[in-house]
């Protein structure tokens, strides 16, 4: 959940996600939509989104087609809905925040 939330916290990545929400698009087609940013920047954003499980990649020759993983997004929203009301995991979250400060670069998902 942490990776997905950090991913969509960046406006540019939300815009990318919206572009590939209802159909597959090649990396170049996505990059062409953002003239104020270089193509590698878009590629890096796509890598973050893929790492967070929010988009899926499919190869077609030299091209790479991206598509939003709407299922993961639905799961994220459902998880957010439950997050605040489930008091049982409060202590775990405090501990998690503690870990974040000490080992800032490492992340893992269950």
Site residues (vs a copy of itself, CB under 8 A): 2, 5-6, 8-9, 11-12, 14-15, 17-19, 21-23, 25-26, 28-29, 32-34, 36-37, 68, 70, 73, 77, 80-81, 83-85, 87-88, 90-91, 93-98, 100-102
Report, in Å, the least distance between residue 7 CB and a copy of itself: 9
Are 1 and 47 in contact by the 8 Å Cβ rule? The answer is no
Are 32 and 23 in contact by the 8 Å Cβ rule? The answer is no
Environment class of 65 (CB within 10 Å of its CB; exposed 0-12, middle 13-18, buried 19+): middle
Considering only 84, 85, 90, 104, the residue that binds DNA (CB under 7 A) is: 104
Residue 64 interacting with DNA (CB under 7 A): yes
**How many other β-carbons are positioned within 10 Å of the β-carbon of residue 14?**
13
């Amino acid at each position: 959940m942490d990776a997905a939330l950090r991913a969509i916290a960046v406006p540019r990545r939300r815009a990318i996600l919206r572009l590939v929400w209802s159909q597959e698009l090649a990396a170049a087609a996505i990059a062409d939509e953002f003239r104020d940013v270089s193509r590698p920047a878009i590629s890096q954003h796509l890598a973050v989104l893929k790492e967070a499980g929010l988009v899926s990649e499919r190869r077609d020759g030299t091209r790479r087609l991206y598509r939003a993983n709407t299922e993961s997004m639905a799961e994220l929203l459902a998880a957010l809905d439950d997050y605040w009301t489930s008091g049982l995991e409060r202590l775990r979250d405090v501990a998690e925040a503690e870990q974040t400060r000490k080992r800032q670069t490492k992340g893992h998902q269950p």
